[in-house]
Amino acid sequence: MTDTSDSTFASFLDAIEAGNPFYLTCPNDHGSLPPKRICPECTEQTLSKESLPETGEIVTYTNVAVPAPRFRDDSPYVTAIADFGPITLTGQLQGVDSDDVQIGQTVQLTVGSADGERFVAFERP
Ligand SMILES: [Zn+2]
């Protein structure tokens, strides 16, 4: 069993940048994202780290034309929800024209940054 007490959201972003993204899972196979001390679905306290699949599929997306101030330079952009199997992630879709986004499109995880803050992003594999 892996110690997951150091699994902060920052370490999750570090792992994406290192090309080795992970998620947390409980003995009942409920996937979740760090930081978590208990499983959000069944409150199981034994969580372990598992490797996240390399690619996911867009399940829904939205065009953002009026962004929060720190995303102003990227506007307009697409925020997508992507299914990575055990977990679902929300992130900014990068490098894809908003007219070319499709449900079911394959994406991989990356890390974006704006005003010095990192966030989850998706790009084409
Ligand atoms: Zn659980």
10-residue averages of pLDDT along the chain (125 residues): 69 94 95 92 95 95 86 87 96 92 96 92 95
Residue at token pair 């989850």:
120
Instruction: For residue 121, count CB atoms less than 10 angstroms from its CB and return exposed for 0-12, middle for 13-18, buried for 19 or more.
Output: buried
Q: What is the pLDDT of residue 2?
A: 55
Amino acid at 13: L
Report the distance separating Cα 79 and Cα 114, nearest Å: 15
The torsion region of residue 70 among left (phi > 0), alpha (psi -120 to 50) and beta comes to alpha
Q: What is the pLDDT of residue 23?
A: 94
Distance in Å, CA 18 to ligand 1 centroid = 27
Distance in Å, CA 45 to ligand 1 centroid = 8
Distance in Å, CA 125 to ligand 1 centroid = 30
Report the distance separating Cα 85 and Cα 76, nearest Å: 28
Distance in Å, CA 20 to ligand 1 centroid = 23
Distance in Å, CA 48 to ligand 1 centroid = 11
Q: What is the pLDDT of residue 7?
A: 76
Phi and psi angles of residue 8, each rounded to the nearest 5 degrees, phi first: -85, 170
Is the bond preceding residue 69 a cis peptide, omega within 30 degrees? no
Neighbours of 106 (CB within 10 A): 14
Q: What is the pLDDT of residue 6?
A: 65
Distance in Å, CA 107 to ligand 1 centroid = 26
CB 101 within 8 A of CB 93: yes
* pTM of the predicted model as reported, rounded to 2 decimal places: 0.87
Which residues have beta carbons under 5 A from ligand 1 (an ion)? 26, 28, 30, 39, 41-42, 44
Instruction: Extract the tokens encoding 30.
Output: 């409920």
Q: What is the pLDDT of residue 25?
A: 96
Q: What is the pLDDT of residue 3?
A: 58
